[in-house]
């Protein structure tokens, strides 16, 4: 599609089929297929193929996600996958192999996921990308597939930029020489326009991002996703099924209202075979310099005690101290306890920090803001992520 134009209504719809674990080929079954009469072999092969496409939570008698009766058969009534199976195109998607070839020059592919919205996935994805790109030796790409809420252009300081096409496909928009970005936000004529699309159109654009963006050779490709476990996530898992994805980083906040949904995201990853690199607890606690706090008397809201408090800090040499507070209480142990219970790595805690907020507003890296709680947290988490991929993070 030309720059700054949305995909036409008639764009071929991308599959929304379920990605399911396949059954290993059993040697005994192979001998049966080889030695049985041709008509029996076809029946056995068809049955094996159907079994390989049956979701774990499917009803008894499921015809399989690739069957023409998928989502329509009597056995499909009441199945949680019925609507997706009924609307999904049947048969293998030839673009999956094309995407694998297109991304073969990308060394590490990392998904950033969360079952809950508003937990800071885009902020984390942006800061992770900026941190990895601090090394001139690393080539980094950031792909924003949050079609309805593309905030990455703002967080990377790229508002108003446009996507350009070349003979090799769409060219990313570059923050710096070694950090490219792609987002639907670059294609909207008006940044305030709402993207009101159903699943198939969103899936088609996600496929086109994966298939047609010319990243070149990358050390890291970070994929920032929307919240949930819906069509976009199923399609993403399907499109990347042959592309050797390194895994997913799961972002959550400490309170149980977020943890409940994030557990579903981890289970989704396990079902579709995506490794969980680890869990990040974002906005874990408030970290705020005492000198930035405004002090009021609760009995007299109009009385401002900030100056008096600042004078006290100077007199006691406490101006460099930071106030910490639990804004979102981890009533059942937070992300660390959840990660332990679900047997996935815990990567660390990132505080709610005004420096992070300002970095996101201005398209800057938190590592450029100087030492502090958030600076230390990001540096430690990025180091752990790189190490889990067999790499060494470099920040200078």
pLDDT digits (tens, 9 = 90+) for 140-161: 999 999 998 899 999 999 999 9
Task: Give pLDDT, residue 345.
Answer: 97
Average pLDDT over residues 231-252: 92
Residue from 349, 352, 306, 300 nearest 325 by CA: 352
CA distance 183 to 146: 8
In this predicted structure, which of 37-41, 83-87, 99-103 has the lowest mean pLDDT?
Answer: 37-41
CA separation (Å) from 36 to 45, 46, 47? Answer: 11, 14, 15
Could you tell me if 170 and 212 are in contact, meaning their C-beta atoms sit under 8 angstroms apart? yes
Query: Which residue did the predictor score with more confidence, 69 or 54?
Result: 69
Residue 10 confidence (pLDDT) above 50: no
Of 42 and 208, which is predicted with more confidence?
208
How many residues in the chain?
Answer: 396
Q: Using alpha carbons only, how large is the chain's radius of gyration in Å?
A: 24
Burial class (CB in 10 A: 0-12, 13-18, 19+), 80: exposed
Residues 315 and 302: their CA atoms lie apart, in Å, by 25
Other CB atoms within a 10 A radius of the CB of residue 137 amount to 7
Q: pLDDT band at 221, cuts 50/70/90?
A: very high
**Given this model, what pLDDT does residue 24 score?**
34
Structure tokens at 376: 């230390």
State the Cα–Cα distance between residues 134 and 223, nearest whole angstrom.
Answer: 18
Greatest mean pLDDT among 7-16, 27-36, 341-350 lies in 341-350
Give percent of the chain with pLDDT exceeding 90.
60
Q: Find the Cα–Cα–Cα–Cα dihedral 114, 115, 120, 121, rounded to 10°.
A: 30
List the beta strands (DSSP E) in 209-266.
218-224, 247-252
pLDDT, position 375: 94
Give mean pLDDT, residues 208-222.
96
Res 89: pLDDT: 58
Q: Are strands 169-171 and 164-166 parallel, antiparallel or unpaired?
A: antiparallel
Mean pLDDT rounded to a whole number for the chain: 84
Residue 369: Cβ within 10 Å count: 18
**pLDDT score, position 351:** 96
Measure CA of the first residue to CA of the last residue in the chain; give whole Å: 39
Please give the pLDDT value at position 192: 86
pLDDT tens, position by position, 256-270: 999 999 999 999 999
pLDDT tens, position by position, 329-348:
999 999 999 999 999 999 99
């Amino acid at each position: 599609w030309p720059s700054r134009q949305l995909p036409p209504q008639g764009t071929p719809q991308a599959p929304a089929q379920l990605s399911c674990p396949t059954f290993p080929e059993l040697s005994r079954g192979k001998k049966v297929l080889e030695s049985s009469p041709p008509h029996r072999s076809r029946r056995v092969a068809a049955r094996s193929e159907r079994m390989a496409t049956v979701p774990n939570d499917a009803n008894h008698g499921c015809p399989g996600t690739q069957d023409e009766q998928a989502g329509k058969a009597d056995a499909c009534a009441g199945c949680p996958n019925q609507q997706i199976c009924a609307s999904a195109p049947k048969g293998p998607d030839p673009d999956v192999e094309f995407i694998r070839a297109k991304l073969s020059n990308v060394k590490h592919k990392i998904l950033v996921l969360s079952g809950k919205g508003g937990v800071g996935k885009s902020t984390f994805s942006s800061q992770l990308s900026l941190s990895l790109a601090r090394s001139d030796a690393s080539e980094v790409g950031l792909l924003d597939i949050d079609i309805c809420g593309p905030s990455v252009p703002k967080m990377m300081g790229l508002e108003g930029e446009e996507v350009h096409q070349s003979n090799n496909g769409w060219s990313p928009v570059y923050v710096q020489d070694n950090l490219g970005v792609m987002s639907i936000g670059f294609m909207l004529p008006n940044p305030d326009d709402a993207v009101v699309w159903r699943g198939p159109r969103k899936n088609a654009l996600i496929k086109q991002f994966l298939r047609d963006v010319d990243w070149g050779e990358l050390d890291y490709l970070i994929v920032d996703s929307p919240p949930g476990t819906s069509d976009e996530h199923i399609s993403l898992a399907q499109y990347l099924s042959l592309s050797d994805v390194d895994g997913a980083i799961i972002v959550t906040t400490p309170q149980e209202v977020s943890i409940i949904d994030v557990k579903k995201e981890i289970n989704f990853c396990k079902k579709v075979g995506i490794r969980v690199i680890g869990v990040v607890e974002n906005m874990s606690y408030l970290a705020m310099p005492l000198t930035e706090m405004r002090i009021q008397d609760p009995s007299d809201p109009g009385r401002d005690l900030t100056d008096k408090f600042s004078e006290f800090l100077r007199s006691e040499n406490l101006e460099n101290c930071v106030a910490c507070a639990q804004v979102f209480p981890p009533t059942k142990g937070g992300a660390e306890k959840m990660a332990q219970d679900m047997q996935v790595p815990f990567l660390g805690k990132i505080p709610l920090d005004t420096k992070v907020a300002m970095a996101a507003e201005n398209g800057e890296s938190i590592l450029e803001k100087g030492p502090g709680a958030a600076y230390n947290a990001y540096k430690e988490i990025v180091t752990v992520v790189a190490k889990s991929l067999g790499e060494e993070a470099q920040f200078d």
